[in-house]
Every structure is written in structure tokens, then in C-alpha cells.
Amino acid sequence: MLKKLVLYFVTLCTSAMKIFPAEFSHELGLISLRLLCLLGFRVTQNNDTNIIFKGISFKNKLGLAAGLDKNGDYIDSLASLGFGFLELGTVTPRPQQGNIKPRLFRISSQEALVNSLGFNNKGVDYLVERVSVRKSSIPLGISIGKNFDTPLKKAKDDYLICLEKVFPYASYVAINISSPNTEGLRDLFNKEYFSDLISSLKLKQIELSKTYMYVPLFLKISPNIDNNFLKQLVEVILEENIDGIICTNTSNIHNHPSGKGGISGKPLLELSTEILVTLRSLVGKDFPIIASGGVMDLADFQRKLDSGADLVQIYTGLIYKGPALIDRIINAD
């Protein structure tokens, strides 16, 4: 009973933060979560489970998508919410401010967010420092990207720098070339760059695995691709032995006051799940897939699993529903 009351109170606080601008609420929410955790707040899992996925042990199939904790400042606090894993980042070799504010918007009527953040982060060295002092043992994915001013022909170098620095600390590494908020980033999917980038990262992974434990590489894909293009991507991914796919990133939006950005939340559910179903048919039943996009309740979570996902991530659902959403999913009967 006490647990339900506390979750209800935290959910009310989550709703109350909607009176503030979205990006300010983002930071305020994380700071508030840290304070709550210091006071003993936890979302506990009723049944002990142990899911082995790519050699990693997860206590449940629900994870936090990249973007909420870009710098690893809130790992222990977020781990206390009951997640099975967290994905940090996206992080770049050098610190960068990201796009001009305002760059995060709510569409409350659709339970959606529009972001044009642009990989704002404190740099890979800062993130590694934060990860190295964490107390929680929760599995960590780390999403890597390129700096905004790095030319596409040199983008590979940014990804290799980040991969080498996060490799000793990550449970898996997510290759993010699908964000719509860094100018030209999605051009890295073009033949001119894609195969070389993927093969170079794979070679670096093999090299690093001689010194450290093997860390899987996951490619995060866009929902704004057709089936023919997806098939071409899958052919390269399988040929290069990339370990898994994250399906999907946010979707392009152009008719918004921000001018551009990526939409997440409920409007992304159908599109991202359609991609997921097609992707599963292309890669076969055993290839690892982490699903992300539009999960706002237990039914959405189960739909992702039924559509072929091995693990599922949330982000916008947490913003709108609060930690009670995590409790409902991980403690479902």
C-alpha cells in the first residue's frame, strides 16, 4: 500500500512538472529523482528473474533509451527505478552545446515529445569518468555519435574514438547514425560511408576484445526508411557480424515550431513497430533486437515483444507516466 502511495505521489509530481518548459522539466526531474533516491525511493521487482542476452545478465526486459542521461550523471538514481538496463548518451568525442534552445517540446494531446537537441553532451571523457564511479551494477549501453562539426568523411574517426574510450565500461555500445537532429548524420547510411564505418567499428571491436571482455555492437536505425533500404542495411549488418539492432530512433517531423526535429512517444508506436516486424522477418528469429518507440503502457511493451523484440526501451512514456509505468511493466502478472 505504501509503495502505491509513493508511486502515486511521484506520478503527480511528474505531471506537475509539465507547467515548466520541457528541457527545464527534464533537468528538474532528474535532480528530483536523485533526491528521492537519497531518501530511499525505489521501484522494486516482485519476482527475481535472470535473462541472459548476448552474454549479459538482465533482471528484466525493460530498459531506458538513450537521451535522458546523456552524461552518466544519474546512473544510480535511474537504476533505482527498476529498469533491467540503461542506455547512456549519445556521447561525442568532444563536449558540445547542441542546437539552439528551445529544442525540446511537448505535444501533450498526443503524449509525444519533439526534440532537436543535437547531441548536447559533456564529451566522452566526462561520461567515462561518471561511469567509472557508479555504484550500481545495472547493465549499461552507451550510445556513441559524432561531433556536429566533424565532416562526414571523417565521421568514422569520431565513432572509433568513442568506441575505444567506452569499451571497458559498456555492456553494449550503440552506434547512433540515425538521429534526425545532427545535420547530415543520416547520410552515414549511404553506401559511400556505411560499409566502411561499420567494418571499421567491427575491426576495432575485435581488437579491443583482446584486451577487454567482448562488448556487443548494436546499430540504431531510423524509422524513416523503406523496406528495400532496410533490406540493404541488414545485408551489411549480417555480413559484418554486427551483434544487434536497436529499432528505432525518433521520426522526422517538419511541421512544428522548432522547424525540425524528431518525434517520440505515442505517434511513433505504429511506425516503429511496423519496422520491427519487417526487421525480424529479415534477420531471423535469433538475431538480437532491442525495440524502442512509442511504448506508453504495458500493452505497448507486450506488443513490442510479440512483434519480435528481445528487449524493450522507454523514454517518452517515462516522461508522461512517471515511474509507475515501470512498476506496471516489470511487475505485470
Q: Name beta bridge partners: 91.
A: 144
Collapse the DSSP code of 277 into the 3-class scheme (helix H, G, I; strand E, B; otherwise coil) and give the result.
Answer: helix
How far apart, in Å, are the Cα atoms of 175 and each of 13, 61, 104, 110, 218?
34, 20, 23, 29, 6
Provide the phi-psi class of 73: left if phi over 0, else alpha when psi is between -120 and 50, else beta: alpha
Distance of alpha carbon 262 from alpha carbon 70, whole angstroms: 17
Number of other CB atoms surrounding residue 225 within 10 Å: 18
Assigned C-alpha cell, 313: 526501451
Burial of 211: CB neighbours in 10 Å, binned 0-12, 13-18, 19+: exposed
Minimal CA–CA distance to 34: which of 99, 84, 78, 83? 78
Minimal CA–CA distance to 246: which of 65, 1, 76? 65
What element of type H or E holds 22?
Answer: helix 22-38
What are the catalytic residues?
179
Strands of the 251-252 sheet, one edge to the other:
104-107, 112-115, 262-265, 251-252
How far apart, in Å, are the Cα atoms of 178 and each of 110, 194, 251, 260?
23, 12, 9, 15
Strand 112-115 to 262-265 pairing: antiparallel
Distance of alpha carbon 264 from alpha carbon 262, whole angstroms: 7
Strand 112-115 to 104-107 pairing: antiparallel
